[in-house]
């Protein structure tokens, strides 16, 4: 489809190193169908393969609307497999292998699978009008795209258990208080503030960011001894890069580093 308005997901690279991936199904409240899932999966692969891209943002083209989760018409038709392409899990995203940092840019309801997309990202920037929820228990099912265990890793135990068991929404201000949301901004400033966060990551050495992020992501799953061992191994990878020499050199020469990403 040549018309961008008809594409289920819009993909663009902004400021050379930031990928912007936005769901574009306003008539369906950005519910994920097979086309959306495949497009997101394709974007993940492109971002991982492109060495020029250092940070990715997942958002929506529509103000006040993030993602309503799975398209129930697809589910009712028995085509759930379409929502999990390329072994990436729901939306081709929640189980995908992603080494680069992802930021969820959220305005409006992020419910069920929409919230699980946020939880699969590394950071969240949200507006005051945003609400997060895993309401599946209200319908006799359960959140099965990583939400139930990922929310328990981010929020304090009892707060997470209440969210999971009640299915009730959490407003963005409360989410910011408990550390689920990194930045709470107005709808008018959402894109710019999200890009500002992306820039704060983008200016750093790409391999250093990737390896440091990998360690932080698995920290809760390993013992301190295991983490020390893995950290030493990954430090060797970082120190073998050209960037590990460029950083100190640029500091001494009082200039901005010219990262090669290798």
The winner for highest mean pLDDT among 15-19, 21-25, 85-89 is 21-25
The H or E element spanning position 126 is: strand 123-126
pLDDT per position as a tens digit, 142-175: 999 999 999 999 999 999 999 999 999 999 999 9
- Mean pLDDT calculated for residue range 111-123: 96
* Overall average pLDDT of the 69-81 stretch: 88
How far is it, in rounded angstroms, from Cα 154 to Cα 178?
A: 8
Model pTM? 0.94
Query: Nearest to residue 101, comparing CAs of 68, 134, 55, 70?
Result: 55
d(CA 92, CA 119) in angstroms, rounded, equals 14
3 state DSSP class of 133: strand
Query: Cα separation of 94 and 30, whole Å?
Result: 16
Question: Where does the pLDDT of residue 18 fall: very low under 50, low under 70, confident under 90, or very high at 90 and above?
Answer: very high
Confidence category of residue 186, pLDDT binned at 50, 70, 90: very high
Rounded to 5°, the CA angle 199-42-19 comes to: 10
List the beta strands (DSSP E) in 34-113. Answer: 55-60, 102-106, 109-111
Closest CA to 133 of 103, 102, 100, 106: 106
* pLDDT over threshold 80, residue 108: yes
Question: Which band of pLDDT confidence, cut at 50, 70 and 90, is reported for residue 92?
Answer: very high
The candidate with the shortest Cα–Cα distance to 38, out of 72, 13, 63, 71, is 71
Whether the per-residue pLDDT at 2 is higher than 80: the answer is: no
13: left (phi over 0), alpha (psi -120 to 50) or beta: beta
Angstrom distances, CA of residue 21 to CA of 42, 70, 241, 248: 11, 18, 29, 34
131-133 and 183-184 beta bridge pairing: unpaired
Tell me the CB-side half-sphere exposure of residue 204, using CA atoms within 13 A.
15
Q: Exposure pattern of 166-194 as b/e (b: 16+ CB <10 Å)?
A: ebebbebeebbeeebbbbbbeeeebbebb
Known catalytic residues are 116, 136
> Do residues 83 and 70 make contact, with C-beta atoms less than 8 angstroms apart?
yes
The per-residue pLDDT for 77 is 87
CA torsion sign for 40, 134, 182, 101 is negative
Confidence of residue 141 (pLDDT cuts 50, 70, 90): confident
pLDDT of residue 3: 64
Q: With bands split at pLDDT 50, 70 and 90, how would you rate the model's confidence at 120?
A: very high
């Amino acid at each position: 489809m040549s018309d961008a308005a008809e594409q289920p997901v819009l993909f663009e690279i902004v400021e050379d190193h930031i990928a912007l991936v936005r769901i574009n199904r306003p008539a369906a409240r950005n519910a994920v169908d097979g086309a959306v899932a495949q497009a997101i999966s394709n974007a993940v692969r492109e971002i991982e393969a492109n060495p020029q891209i250092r940070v990715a943002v997942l958002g929506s083209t529509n103000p006040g609307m993030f993602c309503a989760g799975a398209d129930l018409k697809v589910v009712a038709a028995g085509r759930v497999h379409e929502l999990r392409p390329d072994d990436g899990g729901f939306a081709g995203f929640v189980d995908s292998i992603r080494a680069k940092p992802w930021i969820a840019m959220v305005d409006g309801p992020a419910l069920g699978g929409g919230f699980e997309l946020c939880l699969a990202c590394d950071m969240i920037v949200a507006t005051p009008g945003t609400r997060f929820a895993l309401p599946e228990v209200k319908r006799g099912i359960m959140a099965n795209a990583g939400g139930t265990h990922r929310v328990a890793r981010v929020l304090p135990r009892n707060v997470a258990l209440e969210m999971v068991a009640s299915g009730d929404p959490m407003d963005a201000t409360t989410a910011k208080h408990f550390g689920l949301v990194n930045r709470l901004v107005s709808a008018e400033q959402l894109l710019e503030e999200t890009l500002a966060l992306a820039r704060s990551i983008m200016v750093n050495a790409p391999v250093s960011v990737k390896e440091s992020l990998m360690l932080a992501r698995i920290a809760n799953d390993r013992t301190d001894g295991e983490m020390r061992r893995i950290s030493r191994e990954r430090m060797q990878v970082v120190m073998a890069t050209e960037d590990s020499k460029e950083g100190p050199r640029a500091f001494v020469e009082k200039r901005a580093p010219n990262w090669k990403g290798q």
